Amino acid sequence: MARLTEEIGELAREVNHYHGEKPKKTSEKTHTVEEELGDILFVLACFANSLDIDLSESFHMAISKIETRDKDRWTRKNDQN
């Protein structure tokens, strides 16, 4: 959990640099949001593996929940035209 929290903090920092009010200092390393998302996915995969959880099944359960309970909360991009 500590590692996941660390990675999420790094993602938040990158998002803030590119989309927020705090630009990156010239002395700071260049990271990307994509890299940080990849790091989070890796940590999640390791965590799921350690608990013998099938991430594919977890993802499908989450999508099913979103498509039923929250179906009116989101607008599909292809429905915006």
Q: What is the pLDDT of residues 10-66, one digit of tens each?
A: 999 889 888 777 777 777 777 789 999 999 999 999 999 999 999 999 999 999 988
Topology of 2-73 in CATH? Helix Hairpins (1.10.287)
Q: What is the pLDDT of residue 72?
A: 79
Confidence band of 79 (pLDDT split at 50, 70, 90): low
Distance of CA 74 to CAs 7, 28, 58, 59, Å?
27, 36, 20, 18
Using CA atoms, how far apart are residues 44 and 61, in angstroms rounded to an integer? Answer: 16
Q: What is the pLDDT of residue 11?
A: 93
Domain ranges of the chain: 2-73
**Over 70: is that where the pLDDT of 81 sits?**
no
Spacing of C-alpha 13 from chain mean position: 13
How long a stretch of residues is the chain?
A: 81
Confidence band of 77 (pLDDT split at 50, 70, 90): confident
